[in-house]
Amino acid sequence: MRMKPSRNLLLCLCSMLALGFLYYSSWRISLRGWGHRSLYDKQGFFLKLDGTLPLKLTYKYGNLSEGACKPGFAAAKMSAIYPKLHVYSGCDSKHHAMLSLQSPGGSIASEKIIDILLSNTKIYGLGEELDSMSCKTCIIVGNGGILANKSLGQRIDEFDVVVRLNEAPVKGFEKDVGSKTTMRITYPEGAIQKMEHYETQSLFVLSAFKALDFKWLRHMVLNQRLHSTDGFWKSVAKHIPRQPSDMRILNPYFIQEASFKLIGLPHNNGQMGRGNIPTLGTVAITMALHNCDEVAVAGFGYNLSTPLAPLHYYEKIKMSAIKESWTHNISKEKEFLVKLVKAGVIQDWTNGICSGGC
Ligand SMILES: *[C@@H]1O[C@H](CO)[C@@H](O)[C@H](O)[C@H]1NC(C)=O
Ligand SMILES: *[C@@H]1O[C@H](CO)[C@@H](O)[C@H](O)[C@H]1NC(C)=O
Ligand SMILES: *[C@@H]1O[C@H](CO)[C@@H](O)[C@H](O)[C@H]1NC(C)=O
Ligand SMILES: *[C@@H]1O[C@H](CO)[C@@H](O)[C@H](O)[C@H]1NC(C)=O
């Protein structure tokens, strides 16, 4: 049957309209795509990192006395350069921790262990005094040799929260790194093994990068003998001189946010491993951005143009010993930290992060 000409025309018109619409909308989409690209980088940070605060906050902070803690400063600065930020303390929601565990890097098998752990440690916060403060300043003390001989100890101790990482010692280094430790964030292979090297008081915080790390913590919390160290990449501590109430699990959300969102490491179908594990220092900074009003760092950044300088502040190993890591992506991570320093989200007291220029 032959179609009537008028009907043919209508069909043709319709398809032309449809084509026109498609063309128009694809143009719109690409236009928006371009607009998007010109404002933000791949991770969602503004390309222009000026970190200008809302006027309201500028007034509010202007009213504070010199040097006083500025409530909400770090999160506000971060939001100014990274509008996608959703501030989340990470310690009030077991549900969220579980969800994060079941997705990238975790396994459902950990769930029972988490329940055991949380029912033993019971407490989620930093302790009554710190939890009740309306404004907290935090410093993350990295382990870099750049801390040596700068006599920053006293200033570090003035922070409300002092975070230390892995086995970084305090005793004998107080002049440069301070003597206060609010929390020590570690993973099993990085934890202090000599009991006498622990400070007398601090929270022991596990940053778990693999399911086995939770099993290890269960042994530590329940004070059980560890029969095997299979699956760890290095020897691990057999005992942690802390009561369960002084042990915490860092919400795995912060590891994932650091890796996949902020640094932009490859997702690898959620497998944590090759090139997508953030360093502990960056995980700690990420946690602090959500939990502290002001965030500073010290002892971060390696200056590779000084191969004979010490790598860490507490041992003789030289910068030249630094090895390519298959798990971390130091250069991508540095790009992220540089953004934070550039925009004034964090203060870098030893200027190591921008050592290549900011
Ligand atoms: C700052 O101080 C001024 C004068 O004391 C006051 O009028 C104003 O409301 C204060 N602003 C804020 C945001 O607190
Ligand atoms: C720090 O000072 C000590 C003693 O003066 C010296 O032996 C050491 O090499 C210095 N370390 C650095 C990193 O400059
Ligand atoms: C780090 O990331 C960059 C950019 O995505 C990539 O080219 C490089 O191979 C990565 N390096 C490592 C060690 O994974
Ligand atoms: C890194 O080391 C080189 C050589 O000593 C020096 O010129 C440069 O200023 C250092 N960078 C920083 C900021 O530490």
pLDDT digits (tens, 9 = 90+) for 261-272: 999 999 888 778
What pLDDT is attached to residue 9? 40
Q: What is the mean pLDDT of residues 348-358?
A: 89
Share of the chain above pLDDT 70, in %: 84
Q: Is 353 left (phi over 0), alpha (psi -120 to 50) or beta?
A: alpha
- Helix spans in the chain (H): 5-39, 55-62, 73-81, 94-102, 110-121, 128-131, 153-157, 174-177, 211-221, 253-256, 280-291, 330-342
Pocket test for ligand 3, best of 262, 324, 332 (most atoms within 8 A of CB): 332
Ligand 2 pocket: which residues have CB below 6 Å?
Answer: 145, 148-149, 310
How far is the centre of ligand 4, averaged over its atoms, from the C-alpha of 352 (Å)? 9
CA distances from 6 to 9, 11, 12, 15 (A): 5, 9, 10, 14
How far is the centre of ligand 3, averaged over its atoms, from the C-alpha of 268 (Å)? 13
What pLDDT is attached to residue 107? 52
Residue 346, classed as helix, strand or coil, is strand
Highest averaged pLDDT of the listed ranges 172-186, 230-244, 320-334: 172-186
Is pLDDT of 11 > 60?
no
DSSP states of 102-140: HSTT--TTHHHHHHHHHHHH---SS-HHHHT-SS-EEEE
What pLDDT is attached to residue 37? 52
275 within ligand 3 shell (Cβ under 6 A)? yes
Task: Report which ligand 2 atom has the smallest distance to the Cα of 310.
Answer: 13
Number of residues that this document lists for the chain: 358
What pLDDT is attached to residue 329? 92
Residue written as token pair 């004979």? 308
Put the strands of the sheet holding 203-206 in their side by side order: 247-249, 203-206, 183-186, 161-165, 137-141, 294-298, 346-348
Residue written as token pair 């912060």? 254
Residue 60, classed as helix, strand or coil, is helix
Output the pTM of the full model.
0.85
How far is the centre of ligand 2, averaged over its atoms, from the C-alpha of 149 (Å)? 6
Element (H, E) at 67: none
CA distances from 345 to 101, 141, 142, 315, 322 (A): 28, 16, 17, 31, 28
pLDDT digits (tens, 9 = 90+) for 185-236: 999 999 999 998 999 999 999 998 888 888 898 899 888 888 888 889 889 9
Phi then psi dihedrals of residue 184, to 5 deg:
-120, 115
Spans of all domains in the chain: 19-48, 55-348
Task: Report which ligand 1 atom has the smallest distance to the Cα of 62.
Answer: 1
* Cα angle value 130/157/341 (rounded, 5°): 90
Q: Write the DSSP symbol of residue 158.
A: T
Residue written as token pair 């040596």? 148
Pocket test for ligand 3, best of 331, 333, 336 (most atoms within 8 A of CB): 331
Is pLDDT of 15 > 50?
no
Q: Does domain 55-348 match CATH 3.90.1480.20?
A: yes
pLDDT digits (tens, 9 = 90+) for 277-315: 999 999 999 999 999 999 999 999 987 788 899 999 999
355 within ligand 4 shell (Cβ under 6 A)? yes
- Give the contacts of 288 (CB within 8 A, at least 6 positions apart): 74, 138, 140, 161, 163, 295
